[in-house]
Amino acid sequence: MPALVFDCDGVLADTERYGHLPAFNQTFADVGLPVRWSEDEYAEKLLIGGGKERMASLLTPEFVAANGLPADPDGQREVLADWHRRKTAIYTTMVADGRLPGRPGVARLVEEAHDAGWALAVASTSAEPSVRAVLEHVVGAGRARDFTVLAGDIVPAKKPAPDIYLLALDRLGVAPDSAVVVEDSRNGLLAADGAGLTCLVTVNGYTEREDFAEAALVVSSLGDPDGERFTVLANRSAARPGGWITIDDVAALLKEA
């Protein structure tokens, strides 16, 4: 059984700009921090894998002293855990309210993969409640139950380390040449490539200028027959997509690999 493994943020939905960024900024306001990340600043933070890790980048000695935050490692871990819980609650509420629609073609491709007998998984460095909320919102609660969900602090090293994709291979019981990963960023691509996996990249506004040299196929989105068409940005595979990405196109990536 081949496997189709999705990243979450920026792949299932455009969560970074319309979900995570406002949730981070709301959290900072709620805890009284003089921080409000702009879109450009957040684009830099996206180079850091994991929400707690992005928050931790604030904790310079100067910032800690100026804002009366704990200087010891244990105290900082507690503060970060509290901030991250608050941020996750804000974010999951946004998802539940329907404020983060799925990206074009995701639900359709998931149905095609399921009907063709592919195993389905999500592998993300985001908190598991956030990932499950997005997954259920995009593909429906029933189909979400067919997914293996790997998220959050489930592995010691986050993307671009390959750990989460190596774990996905183990949990799914498939070989690297039987799985395709759908990613949207260079960090995600490097994680997939490091695990020996074939990668299909769907770019978004934050990542469209990144280097995707290792990807088999790079597209603007997965596309839909009755909605947004898509553009092939780079193709190093045997796939020859039409107006949207189908499960046959994904299978062609595996044959090429």
Of 82, 246, 102, the residue nearest 180 (C-alpha):
246
153 alpha-carbon distance from chain centroid: 14
Q: CA-to-CA distance for 168 and 7, rounded, in angstroms?
A: 11
pLDDT at residue 41, as a whole number: 95
H or E element that contains 181: strand 179-183
The pLDDT tens digits of the residues spanning 238-256 come to 999 999 999 999 999 998 5
| Helices and strands counted in the chain (H then E) | 12, 7
Q: CA-to-CA distance for 162 and 102, rounded, in angstroms?
A: 26
By the 10 Å C-beta count (0-12 exposed, 13-18 middle, 19+ buried), 165 is classed as: buried
Query: Which alpha helices (H) appear in the chain, and where do they start and end?
Result: 15, 21-30, 39-45, 51-56, 61-66, 73-96, 106-115, 128-139, 141-144, 163-172, 186-194, 247-256
pLDDT at residue 257, as a whole number: 52
Task: Count Cβ neighbours within 10 Å for each residue of 18-57 and write b for 16 or more, e otherwise.
Answer: ebbbbbbbbbbeeeebebebeeeebbebbebbbbbebbbe
The pLDDT tens digits of the residues spanning 4-29 come to 999 999 999 988 888 999 999 999 99
Tell me, yes or no, if 193 is annotated catalytic: no
By the 10 Å C-beta count (0-12 exposed, 13-18 middle, 19+ buried), 11 is classed as: buried
Query: Is 146 a residue whose pLDDT tops 90?
Result: yes
Tell me, yes or no, if 7 is annotated catalytic: yes
pLDDT at residue 114, as a whole number: 98
Catalytic residue among 9, 163, 193, 249: 9
| Mean pLDDT for the chain overall | 94
Q: CA-to-CA distance for 207 and 213, rounded, in angstroms?
A: 13
Residue with tokens 């796939």: 239
Catalytic residue among 7, 184, 193, 249: 7
- Contact between residue 223 and residue 230 where contact means Cβ atoms under 8 Å apart: yes
- Contact between residue 219 and residue 245 where contact means Cβ atoms under 8 Å apart: yes
Record the pTM.
0.84
Query: Is 168 a residue whose pLDDT tops 90?
Result: yes
